[in-house]
Structure 1
Amino acid sequence: MKLSLTSWSLRACSLEEAAGLSKVLGIGALDIGYFFGPALDKAALLAEPERAAERVLSLGVDLPNLYHLFGDTLADRNLADPRYRDRNEADFRQVVRFCRAAGVPTVFVLPGVVNPGQSRRDALDQSAASLAGLLPIAREAGVTLTIEPHVHSYLESPALVLELLDRVPGLKLTLDYAHFVCLGWRQDEIDPLAPHAAHVHLRQAKIGALQTKLDKGTINFGALLGTLRDAGYDGRLAIEYTNQDYMDSLFDDILTETIGMRDLVRTWGAGA
């Protein structure tokens, strides 16, 4: 398991600066997306995927994952809303062209929210249908499609995640324990998701707080890393401390927490 750094952690940096910091920290890998200073231009990527790939290839770091958001918010054009299925599939064809050209092996999308008039069950049904349409597009391009279960989505329990994976064979996870821990799930209740992970996010959390300082949260990272190893996981561990209004994650020293997490993973790996 190797580390990566999420570009959206470094909101004041350019994409080139974020890549440079990843190198300076000895990580040498950067997850990319459409947010803050290091953002990719989504419109340009969708219009000319190969040209957008040329820019990121010049960064000189590994690019393990692309975070693709179909709309402009968590709810806009979300996968549980069937009205946008055709548009989302058209965009996703361009996304996987970019990933193939840039050598990005995995892409993660969000599962969707409970839309007006829906129940959680309705949202799962519609999301499963949307993901079943996206999966062959990714597979044909040699890209692994993943979803990230998250707070405020319809997918807020490990049991529902396993049901969705059963409904969409071949779908994988971008797994972030923090989204479950902050909702009150015990770590051992989240562990059954580990065999389905194709990408992992790391940050400390506790009940009621999606993000907190490494020594103030409740995730047992030694146990988490051991669970991933025992599940056969050999993908990237992306450190994802953020400074944003979402879930009030505004108050941590991103660089200090990133280095602390880097060192924790290295120390565990050396012992293993």
Structure 2
Amino acid sequence: MRISVFPKGDLEAIAVHRTMSVHDWIEKARVLPVDGLELYSGMFWQTSDDFVDQVGEHLAAAGFEMPMLCASPDFTHPEPRRRAEEIAAEAQMIRITARLGGPRASTRVLSGQRHPGVSREQGLEWAASAIETLLPLARELDVTLALENHYKDGSWKYPEFAQRTDVFLELLGRIDDRAHFGVQYDPSNAIVAGDDSAEFLDLVIDRVVTMQASDRRLAPGTSLDDLRRSDGTLGYSPLLQHGVIGRGLNDYPRIFRTLAAAGYDGWISIEDGVNGMDEMRASVEFLQEARQMYFGGSTQVRVAAHDEARRATGV
């Protein structure tokens, strides 16, 4: 298992306000003892080969790999022209992934937004067709398309079309490819969807190719029902609060045991930093400990002690 980080806390500055560049983020991340940096489509203000190569050179100079590129295609948009544009934009991200990450690097795919008036069957058909359209390019460039169990992109009005587990599993089942297509597992998003994140992992473990790790809490005095009532507003709800991994709602010991038992050896990318780099570093340290404990041949006694400590503290 290898560790990368994703600048959730700086995403708006980079992708929306453009007061921070991808190069600024690479420099900022130098203080973190990680193997790679997950990048985001909105970081590429330019998409020319020269610009992409400059990013790659900067990553290499800083000692990082680029294992994952986070994109947010909206394949369920009701307008055909927009769906075609989304497919073309995703293809561009696949090419950038190949240029920066090389073999085994992944590009995130989604179903799209839950647009009013789009039926379940129609949305599934559009999303599956878009992914199938992109798979030949992914195979040609040896890039893996990673379908995330997603909540809502920061620029979206509506939540993920395939947010519900049954819809996600049906979309996943429509794509047979297991060499260049799989699941990007996000445990926090499973909780937001109303699922137990560890139980959701059990359902998709045989197709997990990447993982985003975060931990979230609901704002004091709120519930998942309150969160769902916020759907239809732009971006993420303020009712969701980010924090250090291992201190929120996810049962990470069980998640790590499931991944280790399945022989998972891919990347786990930390989606953190909303409350500053100190919390990002604490999340890195948590994953480093987990890597040693669950993926490095540690004893059952240490695992049991860790679980007991987690139960005792209520974390």
TM-score where L is the length of structure 2:
0.71
Counterpart residue identity of residue 30, structure 2 = K
Matched, 1:92 2:123: no
- Code of the residue aligned with 1:123 in structure 2: it is G
Aligned to 2:29: 22
1:211-222 correspondence runs (5 A): 211-214=241-244, 216-222=247-253
Return closer, same or farther for 1:87/1:231 CA change in 2, 3 Å cut-off: same
Provide Cα deviations, 1:71-98, integer angstroms capped at 9, x if missing partner: xxxxxxx101361343333333433332
Matched, 1:263 2:285: yes
In structure 2, C-alpha distance between the alignment counterparts of 1:119 and 1:222, rounded to whole Å: 38
- CA distance in structure 1 between the aligned counterparts of 2:167 and 2:288, rounded to whole angstroms: 33
- 1:63 counterpart residue number: 66
Tell me how far 1:221 sits from its aligned partner. 1.3
Shift of 1:206: 4.3
Distance 1:103 1:129, change over 3 A: same
How does the TM-score come out when normalised to structure 1?
A: 0.81
Going from structure 1 to structure 2, the CA distance change for 1:8 and 1:14 (only over 3 Å counts) comes to farther
Does the 8 Å contact 2:3/2:267 carry over to 1?
yes
How large is the Cα RMSD of the aligned pairs? 2.3
The equivalent of 2:149 in structure 1 is: 149
CA deviation map 1:175-234 (0-9, x unaligned): 111111123211332122233222211111246364433365221112212212222221
Instruction: State the AA in 2 paired with 1:225.
Output: F
Further displaced range: 4-13 or 146-155: 4-13
Match of 2:272 among 241, 253, 260: 241
The answer to whether the Cα contact below 8 Å between 1:148 and 1:174 also exists between their aligned partners in 2 is: yes
* Equivalent residue, structure 2, for 1:52: 51
Greater than 6 Å deviation, 4+ residue runs: none
Residues 89 and 182 (structure 1), Cα distance of their counterparts in 2 relative to 1, 3 Å cut: closer
1:90-136 Cα shifts (integer Å, max 9, x gaps) = 33343333222222511112211222321233312221111111122
Taking the aligned partners of 1:184 and 1:96, their CA distance within structure 2 comes to: 31
1:172 is the counterpart of 2:182:
yes
Alignment pair present for 1:31 and 2:38: yes
Tell me: CA distance 1:53–1:186, structure 2 relative to 1, closer, same or farther (3 Å): same
SS of the residue aligned with 1:217?
Answer: coil
2:212 to 187, 201, 219: 201
SS at match of 1:58: helix
Please point out which of 231, 238, 252 is paired with 2:262: 231
SS for the counterpart of 2:76 is coil
8 A contact 1:148–1:173 mirrored in 2: yes
- Partner of 1:115 in structure 2? 115
Total equivalences in the alignment: 248
SS of the residue corresponding to residue 56 of structure 1 reads: helix
What's the counterpart of residue 75 of structure 1?
none
Letter in 2 for 1:169: D
User: Against the structure 1 CA distance between its residues 134 and 238, is the aligned structure 2 distance closer, same or farther, given a 3 Å change threshold?
Assistant: same
Give the corresponding residue for 2:137: 137
Q: 1:6 and 1:216 mapped to 2: Cα distance?
A: 18
Classify 1:211/1:139 alpha carbon distance in 2 versus 1 (closer, same or farther; 3 Å).
farther
Confirm or deny: 8 A CA contact 1:204 1:217 kept in the other structure: yes
